[in-house]
Copies of this chain bind each other. A is one copy, B any other.
Amino acid sequence: MTEPSSLSRRRFLQTAGAGAATAVWIPKGVKGYTAAEMRSAATGGRVELGISKWELDTPALCVDLDKLERNMATLGTALARTGIDSRPHAKTHKCPAIAHMQMAQGAVGICTAKVSEAVAMHENGIEQILLTTINATPHKIRRAMELRTRCDGFIQAVDVAENARDLSDAATAASIVADVAIDVDPGGHRTGVPPGEPALELARLVDRLPGLRLRGLLCYDGGSQHVKGFDKRRAQTLGRLAAGADTCERMKRAGLNTEIFSGGGTGTYNIDHETPGLTDVQVGSYVFMDAQYLVIGGAEGDGERYTDFDPSLTILTTVLSAKFDGMATADAGAKSCTINEPDPVVVGETGISYRARSDEFGTIRYENPSRTYKLGDKLELIVPHCDPTVNLYDQMYAIRDDRVVAVWPITARGMSQ
């Protein structure tokens, strides 16, 4: 990226980070925090509710509630127009408080990437869970069946016959019938059964197996989410989901259950309804946004900026060294921001770059700054990539009008099993 466009990008991101009008829509979830959540406020390092976020020890992960709620409202409004549902992905936030907000806003369920995440969400009151990854080992299958025993709304992915048989055997042994959805590969070859006949064959097998109940299919096209430019992204994702849609249609004609056809994400939430048969979008990042999504371009505007959602998730960092010309060092490094690209963006500033490539420290470089920073000053960063960044923290501070109103445990942090 050349210097001018980098500056222009940062200027945009700064604008994107600035507050718009306060949202009036307040989801139910925000009004009552669990005892555990309130407890963590008392034990989480001298944090008192109501203090200014600038009083927080840093690095601190913050989520602005006005922006978070506005993002949820934006999604809700868009989906209401298109007639499909949301099934937000909890791999992004790993936070039951946010999952409850999503459910309160009408999500049909939440997704999780790993069975450990699913268990954590269920233990914290989420009853509708779609696990989008298969359980490949006896240990994970046992865990999934135990969860299914306690949770009627738990559905798990399957993408290969041998695994379907293992699941059915385990379900039968546990005296349950387990709900499954066929994971169809949109072409990335990462996971999923190939669409068409292989997927149909697997669906027929699932439908026959005594321990399983077929609920439909999923087809998550991760590779299209960050394609830059709305038209290009639309063309790519519709193209890649076409075989999945055809598979869904063929399943339907074969009398197989397709009540769920789940796919899509934050980059395609306003495109996915064009895929015939698709029932719900697995949006994740829309709640937080990040530097990666902010530059993919939206349906409106200049095609470069993605302004549909506001960056609600930020990291507060403190300047540790300001002795040298043209630069400063702050306390949020790779262990606080990840080393994903693009770099973190300093909110409210232009002409400053922030690099978090060092484990413990971030480097501020002044190009054309509006000000310079001194020892102890604090800065606020938009994160490079929200999912792995959230996964570094035990808790996030819920902020309204720059004050801490809750401390939310990131309950499923580190749960990659």
Chain A residues engaging chain B, CB cutoff 8 angstroms? 45-46, 55, 57-60, 91, 113-114, 133-134, 136-137, 139-140, 159-160, 162-163, 185, 189-194, 222, 318-321, 323-324, 327, 329, 331-336, 338-340, 358-361, 363, 375-376, 387-388, 391-394, 413-414, 416-417
Contact = CB atoms under 8 A, between A and B. Distances in A.
Contacts of A136: 318-320, 331, 375-376
A339 B339 contact: yes
B417 A59 contact: yes
B163 A323 contact: no
Contacts of A388: 334-335, 339, 359
9 closest A-B pairs by beta carbon, nearest first, are A189-B324, A113-B360, A191-B321, A336-B416, A335-B416, A57-B417, A136-B376, A359-B387, A335-B391
B363 A194 contact: no
Contacts of A324: 189
Judged by DSSP, the binding face of A is loop
B416 A361 contact: no
A338 B338 contact: yes
A190 B329 contact: yes
Contacts of A393: 414
Contacts of A46: 139
B329 A191 contact: yes
A114 B376 contact: no
Contacts of A334: 338, 340, 388
A416 B332 contact: yes
Contact of A376 (B59, B137, B361): B137
A361 B392 contact: no
B360 A91 contact: yes
A392 to B, nearest CB: 6
B159 A333 contact: no
A358 B190 contact: yes
Contacts of A58: 137, 417
Contact of A339 (B194, B327, B338): B338
Given A333-B416, A416-B59, A323 B194 contact: yes
Nearest to A60: B417
A69 B192 CA distance: 43
Given A91-B359, A193-B323, A323-B194, A387 B139 contact: no
A375 B414 contact: no
Nearest to A414: B394
Contacts of A192: 321
